[in-house]
Amino acid sequence: MYIFSEKDIRDIVKVDKKALSLIEEGFKRFEEGEVTLPPILRVDIPENNGEVDVKTAYIKGMDKFALKISSGFFDNYKIGLPSLSGMMLLFSTETGVPEAVLQDNGYLTDVRTAVAGAMAAKFMAKEEIDTVGVIGTGTQARYQVKALSLVREFKRIVVYGRTPEHVEKYKRDMEEEFKIPVVAVENPEEAVSKSDILITTTPAKEPIIQAEWIKPGLHITAMGSDAEEKNELHPEVLKKADLLSCDVVNQVFTFGEHHHAKEAGLVSEEDSIIELGALAAGNKKGRTSDEQITVTDLTGTGVQDTAIAVYGYDRLREQEKGVWFGEKE
């Protein structure tokens, strides 16, 4: 099999319109019934504030599929390590033989998650945006904004984070990249009140965003809640929304913000919750007025992993990247 390094993968796969189109097409294929998507497997390691998720999907007609192993150890910042890591394995869909290891350390997951957020905003957010609010200062707090810039223009970023030095670094880095003001706020309520789009990117286990803060016209992309105990939005936020969307309905009622809203008796699977695939395929409409409150709940799917990994493999081999491991090729 081939082994590809994180450096080579980063050189080839970017947060760009190509990645966005790949993920849109993956969700569209899911909507059309052309994807086998098994449940997520997860191992919790609570004593180290860690978890390992395994996701996969087969997209009909593709010659390979990905098995993605993703770890999140959220105390790693205390020892100078990133919170997220992992790799993707590619298998032949004809023989089942392993074909590649993509040692991306979570980079491909970051890319596909970010562009899913952009896809959500494309359909669910207002066309005219002034300010983007971000809760959190980590990798997704950066990549989600970068991806959002593919589908919306904005003039300002406001950010809330728990650690002042991380907030200050985020402010410096994002001002340098986007050449617009980045304003650090004292509390999450202030971030909500100043924003047209709010992106939540934390592993919080208690709700950060409260329903009474939500104003007409706001779009929220919540991507931090991908396990039963995680919760960034108070369940009343989903009840208050005029339009709810998600990546996969049965996943968000197991792992996402919808899981908590269902437990509170505020939302159910019978409600009209629009999957991203239905938006991509044109089977459902997103936002229809500037006054609507909209929420997208993202838990991450194997469809995204297979789409981005197969694309990365093909481009890497075109450029003759990678180390062959085994007998002579």
* Residue 161 or residue 228, greater confidence: 161
Contacts of 21 (CB under 8 A, 6+ apart): none
What local confidence, expressed as pLDDT, does residue 329 receive?
58
pLDDT digits (tens, 9 = 90+) for 283-305: 999 999 999 999 999 999 999 99
How many CB atoms neighbour CB 29 within 10 A?
22
Residue identified by tokens 């706001």 is: 218
What local confidence, expressed as pLDDT, does residue 225 receive?
83
> What is the C-alpha R_g of the chain?
19
Which pTM does this prediction carry?
Answer: 0.94
Q: 41-46 long-range CB contacts below 8 Å, 24 or more apart? A: 42/227, 44/227, 45/73
pLDDT digits (tens, 9 = 90+) for 271-284: 889 999 999 999 99
| Closest alpha carbon to 281 in 92, 16, 107, 30 | 30
Q: Identity (one letter) of the amino acid at 154?
A: F
- Do 133 and 191 touch, CB atoms closer than 8 A? yes
Q: What is the mean pLDDT of the chain?
A: 96
pLDDT digits (tens, 9 = 90+) for 149-205: 999 999 999 999 999 999 999 999 999 999 999 999 999 999 999 999 999 999 899
d(CA 78, CA 82): 10
With a pLDDT cut of 90, the percent of the chain lying above it is 91
| Average of per-residue pLDDT across 232-249 | 97
Is residue 221 scored above 80 in pLDDT?
yes
Residue 221 CA, chain-centre distance (Å), reads 9
Contacts of 314 (CB under 8 A, 6+ apart): none
| Closest alpha carbon to 276 in 256, 307, 247 | 247
pLDDT digits (tens, 9 = 90+) for 76-85: 989 999 888 9
d(CA 109, CA 300): 9
What local confidence, expressed as pLDDT, does residue 211 receive?
97
| Exposure b/e, 96-115, CB count within 10 A at least 16 = b | eeebbbbbbbbbbbbbbbbb
d(CA 70, CA 72): 7
Tokens describing residue 44: 């919790």
Residue identified by tokens 């089942």 is: 96
Residue identified by tokens 């191992």 is: 43
What local confidence, expressed as pLDDT, does residue 328 receive?
67
What local confidence, expressed as pLDDT, does residue 270 receive?
80
